[in-house]
Amino acid sequence: MALQLRPLGDRVVVEPIEREETFAGGQLVLPETAKEKPQQGNVLAVGAGRKDDDGKRIPMDVEVGQTVLFAKYAGTEVKLNGKNLLILKESDILAIIEE
Question: What are the CA-CA distances from residue 61 to residues 28, 33, 90, 91 (Å)?
Answer: 39, 33, 8, 10
Pairing of strands 67-70, 93-97: antiparallel
What is the CATH T-level fold of the domain 11-17+34-97, as seen in this structure? 10 Kd Chaperonin, Protein Cpn10; Chain O (2.30.33)
- Is residue 63 very low, low, confident or very high in pLDDT (cuts 50, 70, 90)? very high
Q: H or E segment at 36?
A: none
CA distance 64 to 32: 29
What type of residue sits at position 3?
Answer: L
Comparing C-alpha atoms, which of 35, 43, 34 is closest to residue 67? 43
Tell me the pLDDT tens digit for each residue of 19-38. Answer: 655 555 556 555 555 556 66
Q: What is the arithmetic mean of pLDDT over 42-52? A: 95
Secondary structure (3-state) at 30:
coil
Question: Looking at residues 72-86, what average pLDDT do you find?
Answer: 91
